[in-house]
Structure 1
Amino acid sequence: MKKTIVAVDPCDYEIRGLYRFASLKPTCTLPEEVAGVWPENPRLLMIAADPDDDTFIENLGMDFCSALTKADIPVGELRILQRETENVAKPLVEGADVIVLADGNDTKRQAFFEAIDLPALLQNAKEDAVLIALDEQALATAGC
């Protein structure tokens, strides 16, 4: 990995009617931390903490990408690693330019990371990939 970053609870949300809009919190240092290492239009892979909660992880991925884009940190493509995509975990991790470890259920996350052998997968990630954990426990569970 080129850089590993912990960005705990990085997003603020604004609710307007039925819509929710995400942006990075003013206190979030992610823009400064990725300066100089962020790939051009990266393929971002969001890895679920609860692999069976499709709605949560897909919304989290889209919200995070939207917040990054608003902060002038471009995202070219979003992919999600969850239960229904675990059979292609290896190519998803190997093809990602940015890997984001979701926050959430520690017990389910540990079981999922073990089931896909995430520590081994991360060893085969791109050398210049950026790893972002949305909580400290995600890094520990991923073996980082």
Structure 2
Amino acid sequence: MSTSEQPPWHIAYPKPVSEAVFLPRSTVLEWFSSEDKLPGKHFALVDLRRNDHEGGTIKTSINLPAQSMHPSIPTLYTLFSSAGISAVVFYCGSSQGRGSRAASWMQDYINEKGDKDMKSFALEGGIKGWVKEGGKLLEMIDGYEEEAWKKFA
């Protein structure tokens, strides 16, 4: 079976119940500059890219390819909950597939736990939207490689 004939990776997992909530890039940028919202203490960013993980990643992001994310949800929840994280922000290239699906799965788990303090989000526009907006957002990318983003211009 060729790659194009293989079923999508995500059908091996349950369909999410929760609808993804998209968090504006401006909100994440505000969090980075707020003393009340610290990365790794109040919010966490999860970069879901695997084969397309190039050109840099938003500062403080954990790289957890979407294909291995679903089985990791209980562990992620335990780590984030223990750290006092109140917002988990998932993203991929556009956040329309992997990002929104992961955010929904995580929110399903948060809901199952009855946790009212933690929320799961998908980053509006994903990393492509982040880079396209430019300006201050580009300063928030570790390992930024302009060449890698030209194909999306």
TM over 0.5: no
TM-score normalised according to structure 1 size: 0.41
Q: Which has the higher strand share?
A: 1
TM-score normalised per structure 2: 0.40
Q: Which has the greater radius of gyration? A: 2
- Greater RCO, CA 8 A, separation 6+: 1
